[in-house]
Amino acid sequence: AQRVTQPEKLLSVFKGAPVELKCNYSYSGSPELFWYVQYSRQRLQLLLRHISRESIKGFTADLNKGETSFHLKKPFAQEEDSAMYYCAPQGGKLIFGQGTELSVKP
Amino acid sequence: NAGVTQTPKFRILKIGQSMTLQCTQDMNHNYMYWYRQDPGMGLKLIYYSVGAGITDKGEVPNGYNVSRSTTEDFPLRLELAAPSQTSVYFCASSYSGQGAGSTDTQYFGPGTRLTVL
């Protein structure tokens, strides 16, 4: 069955600290991998997509096919990074993780 | 471009009432989707459409209906509202998607917060 797990519901870090949001998935075939972000009172929007290999707002995501993980990382968190983050493996079936709320404290 | 627009923003329904959530996109996307977002549960796909006249069920379709008469519009209908349908509803669109050879970035609307009492 297609499944995605974001093990942390809430992740709280201080400004300037490194941050890693975990995503593990189980998916038949080779899904395309996305991270979406939802800032307070805003709509969901694309943060990054694995196939484009871009770094957006300082975030990168490492795909580990052996572990089927797609963790999101940023070396120095900023207060404006506080948001809900959704990991989304997408292929024949579109699924979203449960979301991780990132809180960056000053 | 307005992108994906949804109306209304908020709505309170009584049990058994019906309503239609509107969704329009102006990006000429073939694919359109309806999701519901419940706290701690992520997004669940309700229905999707691969083009005008073609719709299909997602993961949680019970209690909902959709239609797609034009490329731009994809309304979601609740016939007999139940408290379990209290949720935030998001419409989204993309060039390609579920069931296609590749999946493209989805663009989301602002959401409709629905409460059923």
Contacts of B35 in chain A (CB under 8 A): 96
User: Residue A43 and residue B109: Cβ atoms within 8 Å?
Assistant: yes
Residue B101, pLDDT score: 58
String of DSSP letters for chain B: ---EEEE-SEEEE-TT--EEEEEEE-S--SEEEEEEEETTTEEEEEEEEEETTEEEE-S--TTEEE--SSSSB--EEESS--GGG-EEEEEEEESS-TTSSS-PPPEE---EEEEE-
State phi, psi for A96 to the nearest 5 degrees. Answer: -125, 145
Q: How far is A34 from chain B (nearest CA, A)?
A: 8
Contacts of A39 in chain B (CB under 8 A): none
pLDDT digits 0-9 by tens, A7-64: 999 999 999 999 999 999 988 777 888 999 999 988 999 999 887 777 788 999 988 8
A91 shares contact with chain B (CB less than 8 Å): yes
Residue B100, pLDDT score: 60
pLDDT digits 0-9 by tens, B17-69: 999 999 999 999 999 999 999 987 889 999 999 999 999 999 999 999 999 99
Residue of B nearest to A37 (CA): B108
Residue A86, pLDDT score: 95
Which of A23, A36, A43 should be substituted to probe chain B, the one whose Cβ sees the most B Cβ atoms within 10 Å?
A43
Residue B102, pLDDT score: 64
Q: How far is A98 from chain B (nearest CA, A)?
A: 4
Give the pairing type, strands A83-90 and A32-38.
Answer: antiparallel
